C-alpha cells in the first residue's frame, strides 16, 4: 500500500560552514573526525498505509565516519510523543526502510540502529527561522542565510540528499543534541532547510 509524507525539513550538523557531504554526494570528508547530525522533519500532510500522520514531527540523529558514503552510520530516531501506537508504528516502518522510498535508500549506509525514542515535540517556523525541541534530547534552531543584502537566500541546487535536491543554507543559531549516546553542540555550524516530499 502506498504512503506519502509532505512538510518541512531542517538539519544541523557538526561540520563547519557548508557540510561537505551535501555538495559532494556524501563523498567529501567532514570537517571534523566524525559527522554528527540531526535532521528534523515536520509532516504537514501524511498518510502511511491508511494511517494519518499529519501534524507529527520526527528527527533522525546520525553519527557517521567522516566520509558518509563509507557507511557504518549509527542512526537513531526521535518521534513526536503525540503519535499514538498506530502512528508510531507506521512511522517506524517508513523510517526503518521497510516501506521503500528515501529512507530505504539510506539502508546500506547504516551500521547500527540505535533505536526509537518518543518525546514531546515543539516545532516552530517563522520568517526563515526553524526550531525544534524534543524534551531534553534535542534543542536546535537554524536561520535562513542571505548574503550581501540580496533578497533571496543562499541555496545549494542539484544535490544528492534524502530530503531534497535543493537546500537553503541555514546555519544553527543554537544547538544541543544528546540522545542515543550522540552528543554535540552545533551552534554556528552547518544547517539547511527545505520542503520535503516523500512517497513510495
Q: For residue 50, which phi and psi values (nearest 5 degrees)?
A: 90, 0
Residue 174, beta-bridge partner list: 141
pLDDT, tens only, 108-136:
889 999 999 999 999 999 999 999 999 99
pLDDT, tens only, 168-183:
999 999 999 999 999 9
Instruction: Decide: pTM greater than 0.75.
Output: yes
Q: How far apart are CA 78 and CA 60, in angstroms?
A: 7
Alpha helix (H) residue ranges in the chain: 20-24, 85-95, 102-105
**Are the beta carbons of 132 and 40 closer than 8 angstroms?**
yes
Residue 1: pLDDT over 70: no
**Matching residue, cell 513510495:** 200
**Are the beta carbons of 48 and 79 closer than 8 angstroms?**
no
Q: Give the residue from 62, 54, 64 showing the smallest Cα distance to 78.
A: 62
Amino acid at each position: 500500500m502506498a504512503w506519502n509524507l509532505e512538510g518541512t525539513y531542517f538539519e544541523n550538523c557538526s561540520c563547519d560552514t557548508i557540510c561537505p557531504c551535501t555538495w559532494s554526494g556524501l563523498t567529501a570528508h567532514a570537517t571534523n573526525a566524525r559527522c554528527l547530525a540531526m535532521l528534523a522533519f515536520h509532516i504537514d500532510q501524511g498518510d502511511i498505509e491508511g494511517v494519518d500522520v499529519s501534524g507529527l514531527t520526527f528527527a533522525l540523529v546520525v553519527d557517521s565516519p567522516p566520509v558518509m558514503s563509507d557507511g557504518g552510520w549509527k542512526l537513531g530516531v526521535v518521534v513526536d510523543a503525540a503519535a499514538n501506537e498506530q502512528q508510531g508504528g507506521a512511522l517506524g516502518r517508513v523510517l526503518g526502510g521497510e516501506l521503500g522510498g528515501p529512507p530505504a535508500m539510506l539502508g546500506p549506509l547504516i551500521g547500527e540502529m540505535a533505536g526509537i525514542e518518543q518525546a514531546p515535540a515543539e516545532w516552530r517556523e517563522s520568517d526563515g527561522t526553524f526550531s525544534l525541541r524534543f524534551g531534553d534530547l534535542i534543542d536546535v534552531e537554524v536561520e535562513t542565510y542571505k548574503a550581501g543584502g540580496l533578497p533571496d537566500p543562499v541555496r545549494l541546487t542539484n544535490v544528492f540528499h534524502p530530503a531534497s535536491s535543493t537546500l537553503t543554507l541555514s546555519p544553527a543559531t543554537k544547538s544541543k543534541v544528546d540522545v542515543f549516546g550522540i552528543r554535540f553542540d552545533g551552534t554556528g555550524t552547518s544547517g539547511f532547510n527545505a520542503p520535503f516530499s516523500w512517497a513510495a
